Structure 1
Amino acid sequence: MPRRTATMLASTLMLIVLLCAGVFIKVPYSEMTPGPTVNTLGEHGGEPVLQVSGRKTYPADGNLNMTTVRVTSADYKMNLVQAVYGWLAHDSKIVPHDTLYPDGKTEEQSTQENAEEFSQSQESAKVAALKELKIPVKSWVIVRTVFKDTPAEGKLHAGDVIKAVDGKAVKQPDDVAKLVTEHKAGEDVVFTIVPAKEQAAAEKEKRTATKTQKITITTRKSGEAPDKDRAIVGIQAGTDHTFPFTIDIKLADVGGPSAGLMFALGIVDKLTPGDLTGGKFVAGTGTIDDNGKVGPIGGIEMKTVGARDKGAQYFLTPAENCAAAAQDVPEGLRLVKVGTIDDALGALKDIRSGDTSALPKCTTN
């Protein structure tokens, strides 16, 4: 056999061996790819994404698309060949498995957590939008979660309204932790609450809940770094709201908090005359809090790819994601840096006017 032929044959066999080995070698990585992008001003699954009743709404053209990312499941075992292919592909991102599923989190746990975050993002989007439009929203502090095997278990319940701690009025969720940590572990703290059932009944009957209870709880040490001696009772406080009219967000099979900004903008567009986009195709992402602050999200590179593939011309990008997004911008897509809902509305004003020279840019540094 000629030497050239033998060399080619040996090389081919070696390549086959390496490919076979790569298929069987499992690596601790997961994959992210572009997910669906949905117009918050349009329909999904045959019904409007945003439905408002009890308030005048206006037709809205153009696109304000929220974007998503698909991820491999928690039990998916990626092989070396798939990882290498993903690293080389433009529309895929390979990340350590623990990035998506930390501390051995299961698929069910991740799905539940994403559903809760999605629900909370909808509430915050409604609040931020109505505040922007100067429409009053009633808010109060509640017990969001009671942790198992803590002093509060069995004494406080999810949905209880926290009126005061040690007689001091509570206005924000952070007030609760501040007042509790004024104690030393082992000391009593007194919560003044409206029980969840009473609050629910009052909302249904459209009255103010007045029946309060005082609950005494003995604090204990947190036992967690960096302040293991910090006094806790074992709850997470949150905020609940009553809206002056009904806003429903209909979007199944989506999780996480990253659609908050686009939902808020969609609500503003529905409740005001004219079009925020001027008929342009705008997509974006970002969490939003009750005060309209936009926060960072994961998978930004995949979301810009998905948006551009759908036809987006502009992409509203959280300020903290700008550097990563600017590393590889899909051709034909313009990234717009936003830090608040006001920033986003200002950018949309420029976009619909046609004068985009002053749009805040995303840069790599």
Structure 2
Amino acid sequence: MNNTVENSSVADSMYFAPLLPWQQALWSQLTTRVLSQQSLPHALLAAGMQGMGKRAFVWRLVAWLLCRERENHPMGACAACESCQWLRSGTHPSLQVLPIARLPISTDHVNDTDKSSSTAKDKKPTKSTSNSVLKIKVDDIRALQPFIYQGGQGMRICVLDYAEQMTVAAANALLKTLEEPQAQVHLFLISDAPAQLLPTIKSRVQQLALQTIDTTVAMDYVTTALGHIVNREAVGLAAIEQLIQLANGAPLAAIAMAKAPWYSKRALWLTTWQALRSGKRSSVAASDYWQNQLDIAAFIQLSEMMLLDMRRVCLGLSELQNDINLSAILETYQPADNGLALFASSLQQTKTALQQNVQEKFAYDKLMQELAYL
């Protein structure tokens, strides 16, 4: 696929995707305000859990605000005017995006597992690029100043994705822009972890009401998206309810979880843990087996989910996963809380080590050794 076709496909899934059903009220509120000649707040924050569709909403709104035909297309950008074509090619002169590390793509409205950033320029992604190192530095903020203060006609938009990744110096530099709003300039901050934003930043932006998702709407959306079939197995309503609960009510995260290769291996994880703990299987054998089942990143996701529910049961709370008999297993043996904490810490350390090119085999071997003593 050539770059032009690929960029166009990415843009279509990003800027011109259908409106998510739980976002219709907010969309109507904002677009009505604009069409009635009322200005939007200078700075808006889209924040909250992964999988709620915040990036999908922001990119769709950005496209609509820049669209030359928005008065005739209140439900979304026309996808045909000059502005929309610029977005498709990734060369829109009135859009700047940080961090400038990846192609303009947003998986938040698809699966929210990768959470790739967007950029108005054609930056090629690399295998070593990680969300944890997508820092927004002070020089990045300073580089926006000419664009923000250039004057002239027309709307200009800046999007700061992963805004929590701003360094303190970058956040302080951004404060000046937030304190001195420029006409026709709008800033959109997107954050998966708004608690990490400086209070001075949060006090100067208006948060979009994206976090409340009606359970019935979420159920209908996930049911339709999965089509009752995942990994060739039927998915009942109870299974969908469980997915939504595990995803903290975020429909897109629930869909991604159902399709993730690790989700169907939760019972197998428990079997491996029991076999390791009882000495019926060696950590080396378990490591070799799992290396053929999942890549290490997927195994870490699986392990984090299992630890979360194990902690709940150990604290006397009900399990979230009702289909794998977790509570029955923990009735005969409960790992110590410090053991669960140590294994969780090891999972985090493994993530860091993998960013430093540690071989997956060594990472798997180490995790299986530690799982045996959980």
TM-score range, shorter chain: under 0.3
TM-score using structure 1 length: 0.24
Larger Rg: 1
TM-score using structure 2 length: 0.23
- Structure whose residues are more often strand by fraction: 1
Higher relative contact order (CA 8 A, sep 6+): 1
